[in-house]
Amino acid sequence: MNFYITTPIYYINGEPHIGHAYASTAADVIARFKRLDGFNVLFTTGTDEHGIKVARSAEKAGMPVQQFSDMVSQKFRDMTKLMNISNDDFIRTTEERHIKSAQKFWQMLEKDIYKDKYVGWYDPRDETFVTESEIVDGKAPSGGTVEWMEEESYFFRLSAYQDKLLELYEKNPDFIAPASRRNEIISFVKSGLKDLSISRTKFDWGIPVPGDEKHVMYVWIDALANYVTLLGFPDKPIDDMMKECIHIVGKEILRFHAVYWPAFLMAAGLPLPKRIFAHGWWTSEGQKMSKSIGNVVSPSEMVEKYGLSQLRYFLFKEVRFGEDGDFSEAALQNRILYDLANDLGNLVQRVLAFIQKLNGHLTVDYNFDAEAKVLFEHSHELVKKLRPLIDKQDLHAALLTVWELISESNKFVNDMRPWKLAKSDTVKLNKVLTVLCEAIRAIGFGVAPFMPDTAEKIFAYINTAGNSFDEINVRFTDTDFVAPAPLFPREK
């Protein structure tokens, strides 16, 4: 079973910040879950390097644009590493494989392309065309200053796809998620689609239009084509993967992915992705993140200060995936203290440290009493409960579900009082500890997609490889465990 998941490819005119880390980590959580669940996963990310804005940033930095691109693209690769993103590939739109793919893609659209003149406004910040009615005080909706554009341009006959797009949304209600965003797109398309200018002549930092090299492709055609380049287009068949593809994007670029991209794919006769999921935006300490306010959240600072698993957990627990949220250090500290140290950390520590007191040896007994049976069943049902949530990209609900099992396990320890049983009933004690190890293993798998580093530690403590959900069905045998170190030490 195939599964393909993508992040947006990031513009390289600034430093990676928490917003980029968020999109990449979200896709990573889903990719990791699917791998553990036995899927053949392709997970991709990368950098979007052409366009007027990048050319200008390079000029400002006083660097040749290719060299500038190499430098900033590397920072995004570093961010990927920092966040422990398990991407299988990293694409740069300046790579040969992509130039070839984007040009072939263009040629496949040619029946819907014509030459004309573009006269109107352009917003370089979002690399998008804006209408007169969208402009307020010379600014585009993105806040960027608009520029007048008057040049020869190729156009894509987007207007011809209005009905086909509406039919697509109608027939595939889950094509755009979350549902609230779907309505937004439908009304945009219903309000009428104009043909789209898809080439520029005033600068050359882009992919040349095949057969007319004084034009470079509009950066969004170039950028969107990355998703097929990564499948080996045009040399390899892309159908099987593309049909299983989920694009994770920020809400501000949903229109490009849910309107332009499917229209291009239809025009090219290529398969459409399964879903476009638009996530929300983070503000920082109550305000829009901005360099001038100085409140841009740096992923590396946060990882340094609080730890990687801690940050990754926070991003998906604090805010429902799809909604906007506010990043605050106080909120992060609370999550670490309550959810991580007190709930998860405490459970693992109290059970495994207790086993250490019994010489680190677990004597298994699966002949469970009624209460242990319930915890055993709930542990085995965890993945079944998580599956549909992950398939809806409801990462927040998935975490809540894992935490239900953590709370239930902590309550089980409180009720069973193993420290008392050690003195009075070792037969029962072994059953209690056996089922608690089962619960901890299931919880380890539940948190693994979100907090791979933490899961790795948990698995090491209970002699579990942690490569596949199938391991949940393997019974523990009498075994020695190593002494656990606290998962979330207070001083981190």
Give the residues lining the site for ligand MSP (CB under 6 A).
Answer: 8-11, 19-20, 22-23, 48, 223-224, 226, 249-250, 252-253, 281-282, 289
Q: Are 301 and 203 in contact (CB under 8 A)?
A: no
CB nearer ligand MSP, residue 51 or residue 446: 51
Beta bridge partners of 245: 4
CB nearer ligand MSP, residue 188 or residue 403: 188
Kindly state the smallest distance separating residue 235's Cβ from ligand MSP, in Å.
21
Kindly state the smallest distance separating residue 344's Cβ from ligand MSP, in Å.
26
What does the alpha-carbon distance between residue 456 and residue 32 come to, in Å, rounded to a whole number?
13
Q: In what order do the strands lie in the sheet with 2-11?
A: 89-92, 40-48, 2-11, 245-250, 275-279, 176-177
Kindly state the smallest distance separating residue 96's Cβ from ligand MSP, in Å.
19
Determine the residue with CB nearest ligand MSP. Answer: 19
The closest of 181, 162, 7, 147 to 88, measured between CA atoms, is 7
C-alpha torsion sign, points 199, 45, 254, 290: negative
What does the alpha-carbon distance between residue 416 and residue 420 come to, in Å, rounded to a whole number?
8
Kindly state the smallest distance separating residue 19's Cβ from ligand MSP, in Å.
2
CB nearer ligand MSP, residue 61 or residue 296: 296
Kindly state the smallest distance separating residue 123's Cβ from ligand MSP, in Å.
12
CB nearer ligand MSP, residue 289 or residue 382: 289
Kindly state the smallest distance separating residue 207's Cβ from ligand MSP, in Å.
14
Q: Are 414 and 321 in contact (CB under 8 A)?
A: no
CB nearer ligand MSP, residue 26 or residue 266: 26
CB nearer ligand MSP, residue 222 or residue 339: 222
Kindly state the smallest distance separating residue 324's Cβ from ligand MSP, in Å.
8
Q: Are 32 and 70 in contact (CB under 8 A)?
A: no
CB nearer ligand MSP, residue 26 or residue 435: 26
CB nearer ligand MSP, residue 255 or residue 350: 255
Altogether, the residues listed in the chain come to a count of 492
Q: What is the largest CA-CA distance in the chain?
A: 88
Kindly state the smallest distance separating residue 263's Cβ from ligand MSP, in Å.
15
What does the alpha-carbon distance between residue 178 and residue 407 come to, in Å, rounded to a whole number?
29
Place of tokens 């697509």: 168
